[in-house]
Amino acid sequence: MPTFRYLSSADVDDLAEPADYVDVVRDAYRQRGEGAPAEPRTRLPSEDPPGFFTSYAARLPDTGAMGGYMYSGGFSSRDAFFMTPLFDAHSGEPLALLDGASMNPFKTGATGAVGVDALAREDASTVAVIGSGAQARGQLRCTAAVRDLDTVWVYSPTKEHREAFAGDTNAELDAAVAAVASSDAAVEDADIVITATNASSPVFDGDALEAGAHVTAMGQYTPGKNELDTTTVERAKYVVDLEARATQDAGSWLNALDEGVVEEDDLYGELGDIVAGDIPGRETEDEVTVFDSGGTGIETAAAAHMLYERAVEKGRGTDLELAAASDALTGE
């Protein structure tokens, strides 16, 4: 009977640095650009109790893995729980089941960082972070793995949260990190803008963006969430993780379509197409770029496989059995 490895969050939380996540996620998007299949999220909402159940998946043939996320959020617990099933991409046999909590900010942050590397100016050194939760921290730490950062301005509506974020990340990065009192103060003069919020309306004024700025937007994965205003979308070369998401749940893009400031053909392409070299990334010093990162199985399967291999090398986790369908359906 096949076995697979169960890996708790504690089993994997010290196995990789941000740069490690960036490396495997970049290669995964290269595979996507070369044709690796991936599906956008399926989201099953619940009104009573309020919550949602979500899944998405990808197959990475060069990595030799396929998998993704299944997670719940809200409901009566008012929390989220991430599970990552991982399978061998060639035999189809199960490899692992990971608790996805600890890797979540880093695999998502690594995706944003791959977008930064493809789309931000090479000399980008100043960052505005809007949001102060775990996702914002993951985005910033991974961005620091692809650009030499000098200054970071962080804004979130709660003063204590943004000041705590600044204090913690000052100790983690070489850059100077400071809390500011408004989103526009953060965005002014920033080379890179990171939005990682739960906002359902724009979190900064697109007119405040400097020419040549890059925006990583990762908090807009339902139609009703649009962190970016129509000005930002209209100004930008707009790149997504999966084109199938653009008209499904990319909130800012959908809002801009509804407002008539862009057309579907204005979508520039997928990040994987840039990483694979099929289309150029940044082409001029002055163009504004956006990477809309709503979450896919691409980065999830890549990060999970890296952690699985490292956990096996260190003898971590618990082996469990899983019956094959041929065994389970014999009726004996």
At residue 110, the pLDDT reads 98
Per-residue pLDDT tens over the stretch 61-85:
999 999 999 999 889 888 889 999 9
Q: Give the span between the Cα atoms of 302 and 111, in whole angstroms.
A: 11
- Residues 183 and 275 occupy one common structural domain: yes
- Residues 86 and 190 occupy one common structural domain: no
- Residues 164 and 277 occupy one common structural domain: yes
pLDDT grade, residue 330 (50/70/90)? low
Q: What DSSP line would sit under 50-114, residue for residue? A: EEEEEEEEEEETTTTEEEEEEEEEETTTTEEEEEEEEEETTT--EEEEEE-TTTHHHHHHHHHHH
pLDDT grade, residue 219 (50/70/90)? confident
- Residues 322 and 245 occupy one common structural domain: no
- Residues 86 and 169 occupy one common structural domain: no
- Residues 166 and 243 occupy one common structural domain: yes
Task: Give mean pLDDT, residues 222-234.
Answer: 90
**What tokens does 330 get?**
């014999």
Q: Give the span between the Cα atoms of 69 and 57, in whole angstroms.
A: 7
Element (H, E) at 167: helix 159-172
DSSP conformational letter for 146? T
Contact yes or no for 5/95 (Cβ under 8 A): yes
pLDDT grade, residue 204 (50/70/90)? very high
Phi, psi angle pair for 66, to nearest 5°: -140, 145
- Residues 86 and 191 occupy one common structural domain: no
> What value does the mean pLDDT of the chain take?
94
Task: Give mean pLDDT, residues 207-230.
Answer: 90
Q: In this prediction, what percent of the chain has a pLDDT beyond 90?
A: 86
- For residue 322, give its domain range: 3-104+297-328
pLDDT grade, residue 261 (50/70/90)? very high
Max Cα–Cα distance, the chain, nearest Å:
70
- Residues 228 and 210 occupy one common structural domain: yes
- Residues 54 and 144 occupy one common structural domain: no
At residue 332, the pLDDT reads 52
Q: What's the domain count of the chain?
A: 2
Read off the amino acid at residue 295.
G
Contact yes or no for 282/118 (Cβ under 8 A): yes
- Residues 301 and 247 occupy one common structural domain: no
- Residues 90 and 139 occupy one common structural domain: no
Number of residues that this document lists for the chain: 332
pLDDT grade, residue 176 (50/70/90)? very high
- Short-list 170, 81, 183, CA closest to 131: 183
CA distances, 177 to each of 113, 255, 256 (Å): 18, 32, 32
At residue 331, the pLDDT reads 53
- Residues 209 and 234 occupy one common structural domain: yes
Q: Give the span between the Cα atoms of 280 and 157, in whole angstroms.
A: 36
